[in-house]
Structure 1
Amino acid sequence: MKTAAIIGGGVIGGGWAARFLLNGWDVRVFDPDPQAERKISEVLANARRSLPSLYDKMLPAEGVLSFHDDMADAVAGTSWIQESVPEQLDLKHKIYAQIQKHAPKDAILGSSTSGFRASQLQDGALNPGQIIVAHPFNPVYLLPLVELVPSPQTPASVTERATSLLTSIGMKPLVIRKEIDAHIADRLLEAVWREGLWLIKDGICTTEELDDSIRYGFGLRWAQMGLFETYRIAGGEAGMKHFMAQFGPALKWPWTKLMDVPEFTEELVDLIASQSDAQSGHLSIRELERLRDDNLVGMMRALKKSGSGAGGLITAHEAMLPDPEPVDLPVTVSRRIPQSWTDYNGHMNEANYTEASSQATDRFMEMIGCDAAYIASGRSYFTVENHIRFLNELHEGDELTITTQVLKAEGKKMHLFHRLTGPDGKLAATVETLLLHMDTNARATSLPSEEVSAMLTAYADAHAALSLPEGAGRHVGQ
């Protein structure tokens, strides 16, 4: 079992703990705060609700979470150690000395620092090459970006191992080419933050109005395309060169106050705090976190369909996840129910039973060789009829398993029976589906390839010895 140590269990440390834990790692937490266990348990509850909802496959079984009063116990035998203590360089140096006294020499020591350079963190360390900046974004268990910043003293092998390890837990390690204070993303955020402070101080807008300008406008574009790709489109058919020629001169106009920061007077702080309270003070921090997480899951799942941005990363990580153990019938779906699949009654919406069974059909098609390459060649199976029986409720976060039985395979026809079971193994629904093989170019039925036909026939022959499932062949109202 892979083991990670989390040093500092605040918001960021708790997010790291959840990210590792839900990807099958054992996690040890060291934090002298007597509230650390409570705080991390609340972060973990949010993570358990949201992270599995990104995937159409089950994440690995959770690792074991433990809390330690002794640094030596926390870091012994670990592969990854993540430091998330306050942004005080002297404190970090003190912590590193304790960690490196007891940690394995080949463990990677990542720092969540948002501003310090790796060379600053390594200064005076017992093993400088072990330390690397690994700066994440909140919530760490959902947002995949981690800025990975080596120093000239960091061995290439450490950066490569860190990249591979972070990728394996579904993150997007962005290796920064040169050390720089505050890395990349926080420098961009700092620029927006500075302008925002001036706009509010000068009475141009309120905190809510400024946030509206982001969330109803360019924020939606940035999630899928970032900055430069967005502006490439803004240049029209002529592209980026045209955009820069047209709007470049505006950079010389005195619009920005980026090099100035308004003085943090008591009046300014009170103004911003009061506007922020008016904007969302009716919600607790935990309620805001759940709202944020639900929205992130919805947006990232939408990006998953197109493969854009974080969506493509989720698909790539999903392909790394292990397939479920085989049973008597092939397991074609093994996943958790996302919150977006539930309705006002608190259980899975009837449309999502169809979506789940469609995923099962797609997976079975892959198993018989009717995969993406086969479909790209102009051949596929099309569903022509479904019959669903709703037998039991499924709720947000429940484990869903679907097995698939071949009832008949004749020529162009593929007749399947899906069983949907919940976390207690109780049958929740059955979906009987009939498909016809199609030539997608001619838009007409056709025989499958010999290879696909042989694979399908092999399953049909194996399943022929099974009894006809209860409910097969039923009609509506029977």
Structure 2
Amino acid sequence: MTRTAAIIGGGVIGGGWAARFLLNGWDVKICDPDPEAQRKIGEVLANARRSLPGLSDVALPEEGTLSFHADLSEAVAGATWIQESVPERLELKHKVFAQIQAACAPEAVIGSSTSGFKPSELQQGAARPAQIVVAHPFNPVYLLPLVELVTAEQEVAERAAQILTGIGMLPLFLRKEIDAHVADRLLEAVWREALWLVKDGIATTEEIDNAIRYGFGLRWAQMGLFETYRIAGGEAGMKHFMAQFGPALKWPWTKLTDVPDFTDELVDLIAGQSDEQSGAHTIRELERIRDTNLVAILRALKGQGWGAGALLTDHDKRVRAATALAARAVDGVTPGEPILTQARAVPLDWTDYNGHMNEARYLDAFSMATDRFMEFIGCDADYIAAGGSYFTAETHIQYVDEVHAGARIEVKTQMLLGAGKKLQLFHWMYAGERLLATAEHFLLHVSLETRRPSEPGPEVAEGLRLVAEAQADMPYPEGAGRTIRRPG
């Protein structure tokens, strides 16, 4: 069944709403007087198409139809959901709501993206006040699932929540209306304190951002505030945390000094809600859940070279520099021995539902070993930037044994062929003396300009020669040549 959403106001938030609905199979009609609206929304959609599908392990529905309308009445006609995202001026919103309600279906939900106004303020003078709700999202709307849903009308709230859940969002229903809702009030408190820290010369904007993104922001991303503090209370739980740290609220640590008294009633209320929220898990279980999530978040940041992830990469480089993994062929190759190309622990996110390393991660480890071998012979980042590299043409993996998170693994590599454009490698993966798997890789040297096979540069050719000479007397590995032909 085709469903239609109307987006009134196509700025950053409106464009995000359009992308969220469109990529979840809804037809989307946009009304915005900005002559650049079509271009701007097109750019937001391009970002959404690039990123949103990657969150799902099933194919998203076929995109709906996108259309632009100069006439607001035309845009809202037939719409099930209408999202207002015009500037935060109450008189403007009232004018827009009046135009919407004059043309839309009475059963349509009209959501407002307002970050501050209460529903009672938005509904003033409306023909059908109950139809208007606060549906406050967070940027980028097409990726972040939270939407604050504020309305006193239960039936409208249920319909709105069903629609929002259907496009992958999490409706946070507020029991009472309040200026700026919940999330922005929390953000505002941090923002105000940050402004004071900058003004008083305590920290720079970058240092404040680092305090968040290298520290508590990572914990908040997966456990929020109260569950994080529950763990801080240890086995005694939330009541112990509040008893221990509650008095600090009276100390002059912040410019925001108006805090509620820690009465027995408040402590019991918070402790009870915390038990309901997290009591199904012991503190040790919560710690392991936290750690697993943090590893996944940090490794994702590491893959992007951003924030705390970049810090981890820099630390890896320092540690690696003191090991055999920093050596190059020109520094010498040990005769008659395979080359160490990987030495690492199995990370948490490499394991599957069976508790051992997923078969795809064996390929990851072997691919990293091949990358390290390329670096060893001189095909490093500078060489690749200059236009030459190796592309993998064939891979064969033999799985021998399982390995679990935290285990230290090593990969050792023998070059079976390194002549001209061709490179053939054989890898062994071990956990101590225990063989876990083998892999055979066949690669071709390629010009990145033509994307076709080419002869390697002199520095790489020399690296290949040194390895070939050092490994000339090594026996041909058992299992090699089964699918990739043995060099003649």
SS at 2:191 equivalent: helix
Q: What amino acid is the match of 1:115?
A: G
Q: Match for 1:165: what amino acid? A: I
Alignment gaps of 5+ in structure 1: 261-302, 312-338, 341-361, 363-371, 389-427, 439-472
Q: 1:476 offset after TM fit, Å?
A: 2.8
Structure 1 equivalent of residue 439 of structure 2: none
| Coordinate RMSD, CA, aligned | 3.5
Q: Deviations over 1:278-303 (max 9, x none)?
A: xxxxxxxxxxxxxxxxxxxxxxxxx9
Distance 1:233 1:387, change over 3 A: closer
Count of matched residue positions in the alignment of Structure 1 and Structure 2:
299
Normalised by the length of structure 1, the TM-score is 0.57
Q: Deviations over 1:183-215 (max 9, x none)?
A: 000000000010000000000011001101000
2:382 alignment counterpart:
none
1:217 to 191, 215, 229: 215
Q: How far has the Cα of 1:64 moved from its partner?
A: 1.0
SS at match of 2:79: coil
1:88 alignment counterpart: 89
| DSSP 3-state at the match of 2:201 | coil
Counterpart code for 2:145: P
In the alignment, residue 36 of structure 1 is paired with which amino acid? A
Q: Aligned partner of 1:229: which letter?
A: E
In the TM superposition, what are the counterparts of 1:295-310 in structure 2 within 5 Å?
A: none
Partner of 1:106: 107
Aligned to 2:78: 77
Q: Post-superposition, which runs of at least 4 consecutive aligned residues in structure 1 deviate over 6 A? A: 303-308, 428-436
Q: CA deviation at 1:477?
A: 3.3
Paired residue for 1:166, among 164, 170, 192?
A: 164
Alpha-carbon distance between aligned partners in 2 of 1:225 and 1:96, rounded to the nearest angstrom: 37
Contact 1:147 1:175 in 2 (8 A): yes
Identity %: 68
Alignment equivalent of 2:205, drawn from 207, 212, 215: 207
User: 1:233/1:56 Cα in 2 relative to 1: closer, same or farther (>3 Å)?
Assistant: same
- Superposed CA deviations along residues 92-137 of structure 1, whole A, max 9, x for unmatched, are 0000000000001111000000001111111110111111000000
Name the structure 1 match of 2:4: 3
Name the counterpart of 1:176.
174
CA 52–73 in structure 1, closer or farther in 2 if over 3 Å, else same: same
Q: Is 1:192 paired with 2:200?
A: no
- Point out the structure with max Rg over C-alpha: 2
Q: Secondary structure at the match of 1:110?
A: strand
Distance 1:90 1:183 in 2: 20
**Residue type of the partner of 1:121?**
L
Q: From the superposition, tell whether residues 476 and 253 of structure 1 become closer, same or farther in structure 2 (CA, over 3 Å).
A: same
Corresponding residue number in structure 1 for 2:232: 234
1:198–1:225 distance in 2 versus 1, CA, 3 Å: same
5+ residue gaps, structure 2? 259-288, 298-302, 305-351, 365-391, 403-480
Quick check: 1:65 aligned with 2:66? yes
**Cα contact 2:223–2:290 (8 A) shared by 1:** no
Distance 1:387 1:114 in 2: 47
Letter in 2 for 1:203: G
- Counterpart CA distance in 1 for 2:157 and 2:190 is 30
Deviation at 1:57, TM superposition (A): 1.4
Which letter does structure 1 place at the counterpart of 2:201?
G
**By how many angstroms is 1:383 displaced?**
6.9
Instruction: Name the structure 2 match of 1:355.
Output: none
Q: C-alpha distance in 2, partners of 1:110/1:170?
A: 16
1:383 and 1:433 in contact (8 A); partners too = no
Q: Using the alignment, how far apart are the partners of 2:225 and 2:90 within structure 1?
A: 32
Secondary structure of residue in 2 paired with 1:214: helix
2:394 and 2:170 map into 1 onto residues whose CA distance is: 38
Equivalent residue letter for 2:19: A
**CA, structure 1 residues 64+166, in 2 after alignment: closer, same or farther (shift >3 Å)?**
same
- Tell me the alpha carbon deviations over residues 205-228 of structure 1, each in whole angstroms, 9 at most, x when there is no partner: 110011010000000000010000
CA contact (8 A) 2:6 2:76 kept: yes
Aligned residue in 2 for 1:477: 485
TM (norm. structure 2) is 0.56
Secondary structure of 1:180's partner?
coil
SS in 2 for 1:160: helix
In the TM superposition, residue 41 of structure 1 has moved relative to its aligned partner by: 0.8
Contact 1:383-1:434 within 8 A present in 2 as well: no
Higher relative contact order (CA 8 A, sep 6+): 1
Aligned to 2:40: 39
CA distance in 1, matches of 2:28, 2:21: 7
**CA distance 1:174–1:202, change in 2 (3 Å):** same
